[in-house]
Amino acid sequence: MNNLSLIKKFPKDFIFGTATSSYQIEGNSFGESGKSHWDQFAKIDGMVFNSQDGRIACNHIKYWEEDLQLVSDAGFGAYRFSFSWPRLMPDGNQSLNQKGISFYDKLIDKMLELDLKPFGTFYHWDLPIYLADLGGWAKRDTAKYFADYSEVIIKNYGDRLYSVATINEPWCVAWLSHYLGVHAPGLKDIESTAKAMHYIMLAHGYGMEVIRSYSFKNAGIVLNKAAVESYSDKPEDIEAANLYEEIHNSWFSDAVFKSKYPENLLNILGDYMPVKYEEDLKIIGTPIDWLGINYYTRNLIKFDKQEKICQLTDIEGPLNKTDMNWEIYPEGLKKVIETEVNRYNLKLPIHITENGMANKDLNVDGNVDDQKRIDYYFLHLQEIQTLLDRGYNIKSYFAWSLLDNYEWSFGYNKRFGLVYVDFETQKRIKKKSWYEFSSNLK
């Protein structure tokens, strides 16, 4: 049975935090928020577990003080949250919702009062419905509107934010949502995929330009990295894995660090790419101050000739799994960081902006024993420690997530929190993992 006492051996200035996102916790039926495309998507039969949506979620709009107190009482030094675009700009790009503006004002001020560094993410998947109806991420205008939205954030809160990230997990925004059809808008369409793969990165670039125009200094992007491995030594599986590496990982990092897209995937998407997309790559490559890495699992890839466009499949691996059926593969975290640093010769600070697991947690008379989650954190923190010992420039680690919350297509059926949420009563119950962090952070 592992514990988290290794935390005490981390460098004194290493930041430990925990993370959430707006749609997953806030409850968008409160505070005059606009709707997001997830509200629409959840209504489509079979797309989301029990058609659940984020109207109530964890009602963080009401319980935000209690929630921040939970972060602070555990001894964390930072809180990663996201702004909700439809809460701030209900119609996407026109009027501001003053209630939304003051909500984040209060939230950030309270973080500072509690000595929590505010790590703000601009976009964590809640696209205003109004922009989704105009074509969403398959349209160039959405990237332009993202620049206006970025300005609202940086102008109102830039003086108090410790750091900002433009986009959370562009792979999910583009590939998972337009090619695999798993997230909103649920498309399986190569043309919209190609457009979204580019426009989400252009939005990042425009966001960076706005951030720089306000002389804000601590800005980055958050990429979800998969440890991609070939299912076998067969050349066709290795080739399939290489293509998947481009799809999941290097498309986004090549764009940011090299102002280019990787060749194999570009060959596949080429005919559908926006005209003159090359001209945008310089904007996308605007230098960032740090790279955020979210890591959960590995992808085992096999050649599959049944697949028409990208001839590959993700095979279920043999390792122990979390409740998401994701393999627990801690060395993958080390591998993805090593790959990133070597491939791009990175000197930038790296923040581990998300890592954690879903577990079938049970509330037994007010006790939630999630030892499996403690084991997961232990194993991943060990990998980070190894890299720190080797001199890697890793600055922080954020546990995903503070609260059980809306896990997208899985609705409220997957629990990732350090704190258990009873969704009937909104009661928060600290899990064993919360106590474990707390006794080692303080």
Catalytic residue among 26, 340, 354, 436: 354
Q: Which residue type sits at 388?
A: L
Site residues (CB under 6 A) for ligand IFM?
A: 21, 24, 169, 294, 354, 400, 407, 416
Q: Are 324 and 338 in contact (CB under 8 A)?
A: no
- Taking phi first (over 0 means left), then psi (-120 to 50 degrees means alpha), and beta for anything else, what does residue 125 get? left
- Other Cβ atoms less than 10 A from the Cβ of 190: the count is 17
Q: Give phi and psi for 254, each to the nearest 5.
A: -60, -40
- Exposure of 337 in the CB half-sphere (CA atoms within 13 A): 30
Distance CA 121, CA 114 (A): 20
Pairing of strands 163-168, 419-422: unpaired
279 annotated active-site: no
| Shortest distance, position 319 Cβ to ligand IFM, whole Å | 18
Q: Which residues contact 115 (CB under 8 A, 6 or more apart)?
A: 72, 77
Nearer to ligand IFM, 294 or 359 (CB): 294
Please report how close the Cβ of residue 357 comes to ligand IFM at its closest, in angstroms: 9
Which residue, 147 or 172, has its beta carbon nearer to ligand IFM? 172
Q: Which two tokens stand for residue 34?
A: 């606009």
Catalytic annotation present for 32: no
How far apart (Å, rounded) are the C-alpha atoms in residues 78 and 16? 6
CB 421 within 8 A of CB 404: yes
- The type of residue at 96 is L
Order of all β-strands in the sheet with 298-303: 227-230, 298-303, 312-315
Task: Enumerate residues 6+ apart whose C-beta is below 8 A from 342.
Answer: none
DSSP state string for 331-373: HHHHHHHHHHHHHHT--S-EEEEEE--------BTTB---HHH
What whole-number distance in Å separates Cα of residue 328 and Cα of residue 239? 24
Q: Considering the complex, what minimum distance in angstroms separates the CB of residue 358 from ligand IFM?
A: 7
Q: Are 285 and 205 in contact (CB under 8 A)?
A: yes
Least CB distance to ligand IFM at residue 13 (A): 26
Which CB, 110 or 124, lies closer to ligand IFM?
A: 124
Cβ closer to ligand IFM: 183 or 302? 183
24 or 177: CB nearest ligand IFM: 24
Instruction: Name which of 38 and 400 has its Cβ closer to ligand IFM.
Output: 400
Q: Of the residues 26, 169, 229, 246, which is catalytic?
A: 169
Q: How far is CA 325 from the centre of its chain?
A: 19
Q: Pick the closer one to ligand IFM by CB: 19 or 210.
A: 19
Output the smallest distance, CB 369 to ligand IFM, in A: 21
* Under 8 Å between Cβ of 26 and 60: yes
Cross-strand partners of 224:
294
Contact residues for 218 (Cβ-Cβ < 8 A; gap 6+)? 161, 162, 163, 164, 289, 290
CB nearer to ligand IFM: pick between 274 and 411: 411
Q: Which residues are identified as catalytic? A: 169, 354
